[in-house]
């Protein structure tokens, strides 16, 4: 683990979450992707944004629901990787799922700076750590600055969301 709390294998999963966010964008959805990996390093589920079908269908919600439905049992020790910081709703779902670690790239603050007041992304500016701080069980959060190469493309995609393209 390095000083940021990032494990060596984390970058591979975070890159996959970013790939999923790009795929989501390519299908006309918001550019967010997430996945859940169990304590043994096994991929349990992936999720992309599906806001058009369900306003609660954020990538993290879809990944958590699919991981739970996978029959993997308790998700304690599992890690959720997300292209962007989970919102308060998704942080709640992560907490209730029993997932104990979250690794994300783009912070809610930076997302808000990119998307501004876009009507499809009225950012809920509450850091996930503020939600987890009120939880009775521990959930570690690792924020990764978006220096991973694909982020330049993804951030440009998020910016185009703001401009309505
Ligand atoms: Zn969310």
pLDDT digits (tens, 9 = 90+) for 136-163: 877 777 766 554 445 555 555 555 544 4
Task: State in Å: Cα 69 to ligand 1 middle.
Answer: 19
Among the listed residues 9, 19, 60, 108, the single catalytic one is 60
Query: What distance in Å separates the CA atoms of residue 162 and residue 15, rounded to the nearest whole number?
Result: 23
Average pLDDT of 3-27? 84
Q: In sequence order, what E strands does the chain have?
A: 33-37, 43-48, 79-84, 101-106, 140-143
* pLDDT confidence of residue 154: 58
Task: State in Å: Cα 90 to ligand 1 middle.
Answer: 4
Task: State in Å: Cα 28 to ligand 1 middle.
Answer: 18
* pLDDT confidence of residue 63: 97
Contact criterion met (CB below 8 Å) for 33 and 83: yes
Task: State in Å: Cα 60 to ligand 1 middle.
Answer: 6
Contact criterion met (CB below 8 Å) for 103 and 142: yes
Query: What distance in Å separates the CA atoms of residue 120 and residue 111, rounded to the nearest whole number?
Result: 13
* pLDDT confidence of residue 149: 45
* pLDDT confidence of residue 76: 84
Query: What distance in Å separates the CA atoms of residue 18 and residue 32, rounded to the nearest whole number?
Result: 7
Assess whether 60 carries a catalytic annotation. yes
Please, which residues have CB within 8 angstroms of residue 142's CB and are 6 or more apart in sequence?
Answer: 4, 5, 6, 10, 101, 102, 103, 104
Query: What distance in Å separates the CA atoms of residue 164 and residue 70, rounded to the nearest whole number?
Result: 36
Average pLDDT of 34-61? 94
- Helices 10-26 and 151-163: crossing angle, nearest 10°? 30
């Amino acid at each position: 683990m390095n000083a940021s709390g990032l494990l060596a294998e984390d970058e591979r999963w975070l890159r996959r979450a970013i790939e999923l966010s790009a795929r989501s964008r390519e299908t006309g959805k918001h550019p967010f992707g997430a996945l859940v990996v169990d304590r043994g390093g096994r991929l349990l589920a992936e999720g992309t944004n599906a806001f058009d079908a369900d306003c609660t269908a954020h990538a993290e919600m879809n990944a958590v629901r699919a991981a739970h439905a996978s029959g993997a049992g308790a998700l304690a020790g599992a890690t959720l990787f997300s292209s962007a910081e989970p919102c308060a709703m998704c942080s709640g779902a992560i907490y209730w799922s029993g997932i104990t670690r979250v690794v994300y790239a783009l912070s809610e603050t930076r997302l808000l700076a990119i998307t501004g007041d876009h009507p499809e992304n009225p950012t809920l500016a509450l850091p996930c750590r503020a939600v987890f701080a009120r939880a009775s069980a521990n959930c570690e959060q690792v924020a990764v600055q978006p220096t991973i190469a694909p982020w330049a493309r993804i951030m440009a995609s998020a910016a185009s969301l703001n401009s309505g393209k």
